[in-house]
Each structure stands twice: as C-alpha cells, then as structure tokens.
Amino acid sequence: MLLQDKIIVVTGAARGLGRSCAVRFAREGADLVLVDIAKDLAAVPYPLGSADQLEHTAELCRKEGAATVTVAADVREREAVQEVARQAFDRFGTVDVLLNGAGIAAPSGKAVHEISEDEWDLMVGVDLTGAWRMTKAVVPAMIEQRSGSVINVASTAGLVGYRHFAGYVAAKHGLIGLTKAAALDYGPFRVRVNALCPGSVRDDPLHEGRMLAEIARSLDVDVDEHEEIFVQSQPMNTLIEPQDIAGAAVWLAGNDSRQVTGTTLTVDGGFSAR
C-alpha cells in the first residue's frame, strides 16, 4: 500500500473531492484526521458539508481499515485550526501529509466591482488563508521529522481567468503562489509543497459532490444540462472523475514523488493546454 502508516489531515473531507481523496488514502494504508466546517454559512448560497456527511466519510475510511478522527472546524478561525492540530498530535503523534481541500466556489457570478467586501473576505478567507493557517499549524511537526507533504487543492482557476469569478480566481492563483513560496521555505527540511489543479470534476453522487453544479448556477447555466455544456470545453470530451483527483493526490502524498515540490499538477483533461 502506497501510504502505509502515514498520518494524513484532510480538510473539506465531508464530501466531494475531500471524501474521494480521504477514502483513497485510507485504501492505501493511511490513518486520517478528517476536517470540515460541518455547517452552512449564510453568505454561501448552497449547503456546505454537514456533520453527518463528515461522519459518513469517516465510516467509509474505517471500512478500509483506517484509524480515523473527525474534527468540525472552520479553517478561517485560528483557534479551530489549532484544535485540529492538537487532536491530530494527541491521537497520532505527528502529521505526514496535509491535504488542504476546504474551499467554496460562491458567492460568485459578479463582475469585480460588484463584489462586496464581505464576499471577497469570505472567499479569500476559506480558499487561501485557510490553507495558510493549516500549513502554519502542522508543518512544524514535518520540519522536526524532516519529511512531509502538503497538497493544496487549487483549480484551473488558479491558472487562467474566469468571467464573474474574480474572488475564486484570485484566491486560487494566490494558493499556487503560496505553494511555490512554501516549497522554497521548506525544501531544506525535505517537506514538499505542491498544488493540485482539478478541471471540471463530475459531481459524483457517491461522494455527494456539488461544486460543478454550483459553478454552473453562478454562470446561469441550466443545471440539467451543465455536464454536457462543460464537456464541450474538454479536449478529451469527458469530465474529470473524483477518483482521477484522488489518484493524483496519492502520488503527491507518497514516496514516489519525493523529489517533486513547488509544482502544479493539473488534472483537467487538457483544458488548460489551449
């Protein structure tokens, strides 16, 4: 198993790509700390991961043989992130891998000048500052043990621009910048930091994903036809599957990528090659 005995923290683990990656990590032999806000936010116009969904992810991981801890935490809050780290270290003693998967795609659907201060702060707070805060909390243990891998789940929105998604695009570009800077900071300690950039990922009911549907809603795309519309922009004529992202995350988490740091691994079916 590629991740045997590794301790992995996954944020945004209640559903979607977070769940997909967590279950695959468990299947590869890792033990897990699963983190999600586990509640809705009034300013986000769609339901976020719930406590029940987070526990369901944990049960799926336990069925794969993983020891699993769940923590409800808002990555925008310093004390909540510190509690995640405390529970991880109390249970497992260290952290080998951090997957920063917590993120939101909305509030979006507005031109730059129409975005409110609160909307901007929310998007950047979750999608960028949250990853920085989690890194700050767990990387010191990686430095001490002279090994570790941080995987920041960015997006093709971190590589190109999207109309009416300025907050999301800015946060994901910033996340890739954070990745590169952190890779240089931590390289001497053999702690690797990489960004994973998914393209248009299908909302698999098994993982209860809904990101693509929410992006479609923000773009005023008919939800009943959104998959077909997104496929039209894919050179490989298919949407990305959650397991495609999970497989890439396993590689970045494992020893086969031990010389890979500061890079952006794009899994988008060729979309960004245009």
Beta carbons within 8 Å of 46's beta carbon, 6+ residues apart:
106, 210, 214, 217
Beta carbons within 8 Å of 198's beta carbon, 6+ residues apart:
17, 153, 155, 156, 240, 245, 267, 268
The answer to whether residues 198 and 156 touch, using CB atoms and an 8 Å cutoff, is yes
Residue 168 is among the residues annotated as catalytic for this protein? yes
Distance of alpha carbon 156 from alpha carbon 106, whole angstroms:
16
| Beta bridge partner(s), residue 33 | 9, 69
What angle do helix axes 16-27 and 51-63 make, rounded to 10 degrees?
20
Taking the CA atoms of 263, 268, 270 and 274 in sequence, report the sign of the dihedral they define.
Answer: negative
Distance of CA 164 to the CA centre of its chain: 22
Selected catalytic residue, list 46, 162, 168, 186? 168
**Would you name the residues annotated as active-site residues?**
168
